[in-house]
């Protein structure tokens, strides 16, 4: 069954090539397709395009289909093109003429769009929850290890004293900025395209505000042409937010690969979380972080991949837009997997203590020595020269104490303030509005 089928059979080769993997990815949209139809049919009854008796029957049957989907007891039959066709087919089998009425006032174009918006809204919420879980781990580790010094590097050369508190906390605050990008993506996703039809609206007296409210959207895509142009743009914005989170994970993975090497030996993992070598008995390889680095580097290419699909498209719908699902859907799953794995691995790390007592890191304290001279009254340039000469002459001595007290420094991590920033960012999503609306829709 195809919603667009008339009296001409399309050749099998054409159908297989154009449909591609759509049924596979449509199963991820199935529950959201039914939610869209639940709202749409209530709107059709409200504007007089559907009778109350038909509405009640359709609502009851669609809720049953929804619960089957959630339970994993639903499939797209062979020969049925997509999820929209499967749902309409089942409704028509069960309810007859009433099932044929659900497509009034919409096109498969805006049906796909609302499915995607609902799906992406749901997935972004899950990503944010996974980011928050990792953030909490990082903040706890930052506080636990805040007094353990760690060499900081610039140009991969020993630079100044850092700490595990600073290092864990840095990635926590990076996730705050990533959440702000996810928030921007969510706000673009959180707009209702339903009622834009094929991109030029409908002559039916649709009530688009009603479906917006029923589906818990923050607002709607008002201009019907732009609603269709949003296909692709929405995915690109979401992919940019995904890439930002992935960049944070990839960078931390790289740090961990370095820190676990024998040349650094700042952290270790239990043997059962590492792999070995087929010929070198001593090896403990950080394969999890290497795989994570590779996956997250690939995710950072996602915005470019999506942009290349969109690069020469005029306004209106074009069939290659369906290929966006093949890029974006697996990427979201990959990101969630990486977030969960990082949150699992980090608490297992054993952090080495007293690292900075090694003679190797002696000169990391040179800036503190300069600053001590300045605090004693010497001009900075003279202090810099004095300490530099002591290094050249081999007479440099580490200061008796290291005092870093300003906001965000060794002795003042500002983790509470960073936590507040994260809490504020997550609160602005207002996930509760959508959750409440969809719960009422299927109750």
Tell me the C-alpha distance between 124 and 21, whole Å.
Answer: 23
Rounded to 5 degrees, φ, ψ at 376 are -85, 0
For residue 289 the two structure tokens come to 């972080």
**Candidate list 37, 67, 142, 277, residue with the active-site label:** 277
Q: What is the pLDDT of residue 326?
A: 93
Architecture of domain 12-101: Orthogonal Bundle (1.10)
Q: Annotated catalytic, 277?
A: yes
Q: What is the CATH number of domain 108-150+163-357?
A: 1.20.200.10
* 149-154 vs 157-163, strand pairing mode: antiparallel
Q: Annotated catalytic, 103?
A: no
Domain ranges of the chain: 12-101, 108-150+163-357, 359-392
**Candidate list 107, 142, 155, 278, residue with the active-site label:** 155
Q: How many CA atoms lie within 13 A of 45 on its CB side?
A: 15
Residues 6 or more apart whose Cβ sits within 8 Å of residue 423: none
As a whole number of Å, the end-to-end CA separation of the chain is 30
How many other C-beta atoms can be found within 10 angstroms of the C-beta atom of residue 386? Answer: 13
Tell me the C-alpha distance between 54 and 48, whole Å.
Answer: 12
Tell me the C-alpha distance between 443 and 433, whole Å.
Answer: 16
Q: What is the pLDDT along the chain (443 residues), one digit of tens a residue?
A: 455 455 556 677 766 666 667 777 889 999 999 999 999 999 999 999 999 999 999 999 999 999 999 999 999 998 888 899 999 999 999 999 999 999 999 999 999 999 999 999 999 999 999 999 999 999 999 999 999 999 999 999 999 999 999 999 999 999 999 999 999 999 999 999 999 999 999 999 999 999 999 999 999 999 999 999 999 999 999 999 999 999 999 999 999 999 999 999 999 999 888 887 667 777 788 899 999 999 999 999 999 999 999 998 898 888 889 899 999 999 999 999 999 999 999 999 999 999 999 999 999 999 999 999 999 999 999 999 999 999 999 999 998 888 899 999 999 999 999 999 999 999 999 999 999 999 999 99
Helix residue ranges per DSSP H, 47-107: 52-70, 83-95
Tell me the C-alpha distance between 2 and 8, whole Å.
Answer: 12
Q: What is the pLDDT of residue 5?
A: 52
């Amino acid at each position: 069954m195809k919603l667009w089928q008339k009296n001409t059979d399309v050749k099998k080769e054409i159908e297989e090539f154009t449909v591609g993997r759509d049924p596979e990815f449509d199963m991820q949209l199935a529950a959201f397709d039914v939610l869209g139809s639940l709202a749409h049919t209530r709107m059709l009854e409200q504007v007089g395009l559907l009778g109350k008796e038909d509405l009640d029957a359709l609502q009851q049957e669609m809720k049953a289909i929804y619960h089957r989907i959630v339970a994993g007891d639903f499939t797209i039959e062979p020969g049925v093109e997509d999820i929209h066709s499967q749902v309409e087919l089942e409704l028509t089998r069960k309810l007859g003429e009433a099932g044929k009425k659900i497509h009034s006032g919409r096109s498969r174009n805006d049906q796909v769009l609302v499915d995607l918006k609902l799906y992406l809204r749901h997935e972004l919420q899950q990503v944010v929850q996974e980011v928050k879980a990792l953030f909490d781990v990082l903040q706890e580790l930052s506080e636990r290890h805040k007094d353990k010094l760690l060499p900081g590097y610039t140009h991969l050369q020993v630079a100044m004293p850092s700490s595990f508190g600073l290092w864990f906390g840095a990635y926590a605050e990076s996730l705050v900025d990533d959440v702000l990008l996810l928030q921007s993506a969510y706000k673009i996703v959180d707009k209702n395209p339903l009622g834009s039809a094929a991109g030029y609206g409908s002559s039916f007296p649709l009530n688009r505000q009603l479906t917006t409210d029923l589906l818990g959207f923050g607002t709607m895509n008002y201009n019907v042409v732009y609603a269709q142009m949003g296909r692709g743009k929405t995915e690109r914005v979401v992919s940019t937010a995904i890439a930002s989170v992935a960049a944070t994970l990839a960078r931390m993975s790289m740090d961990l690969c370095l820190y676990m090497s024998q040349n650094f030996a700042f952290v270790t993992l239990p043997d059962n979380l590492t792999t070995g070598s087929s010929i070198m008995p001593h090896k403990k390889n950080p394969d999890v972080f290497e795989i994570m680095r590779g996956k997250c580097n690939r995710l950072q290419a996602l915005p470019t991949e999506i942009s290349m699909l969109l690069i020469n498209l005029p306004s209106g719908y074009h069939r290659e837009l369906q290929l966006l699902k093949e890029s974006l859907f697996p990427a979201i799953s990959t990101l969630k997997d990486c977030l969960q794995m990082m949150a699992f691995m980090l608490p297992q790390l054993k952090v080495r203590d007293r690292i900075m007592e090694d003679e190797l890191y002696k000169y990391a304290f040179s800036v503190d020595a300069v600053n001590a001279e300045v605090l004693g009254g010497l001009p900075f340039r003279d202090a810099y020269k004095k300490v530099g000469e002591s290094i050249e002459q081999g007479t440099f001595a580490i200061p008796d104490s290291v005092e870093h007290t300003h906001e965000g420094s060794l002795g003042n991590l500002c983790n509470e303030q960073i936590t507040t920033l994260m809490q504020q960012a997550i609160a602005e999503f207002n996930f509760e509005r959508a959750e409440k609306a969809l719960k009422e829709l299927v109750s």
